Amino acid sequence: MGDPDCILREPLAIDGVNLKDWLPFADVKETVIRSSDILTFLEPGKELLASYYSYKPIEPEILTE
């Protein structure tokens, strides 16, 4: 197996017709993977693309007390 050669920045997962954070456990939304691990690339439909560009994850609440 080769070294990681692709960087995913702010990746999202498709859950039915919704988008969700692919790295909900991480503060930095960037990961490195091997291109050989990518199964499929495709062009998203207009509705999914609009949803992707308007996606804003909910920020965790910070307790100050």
**32-49: burial string, b at 16+ Cβ within 10 Å, e else:** eeeeeeeeeeeeeeeeee
Q: Where are the domains of the chain?
A: 6-54
| pLDDT value of residue 57 | 60
Sign of the torsion formed by the C-alpha atoms of 26, 41, 53 and 5: positive
Which pair of structure tokens corresponds to residue 28? 């930095």
d(C-alpha 20, C-alpha 57), whole Å: 8
| pLDDT value of residue 14 | 87
pLDDT tens digits in sequence order for the chain, 65 residues long:
678 889 988 888 888 888 888 888 988 889 999 988 888 888 888 988 888 888 866 566 666 76
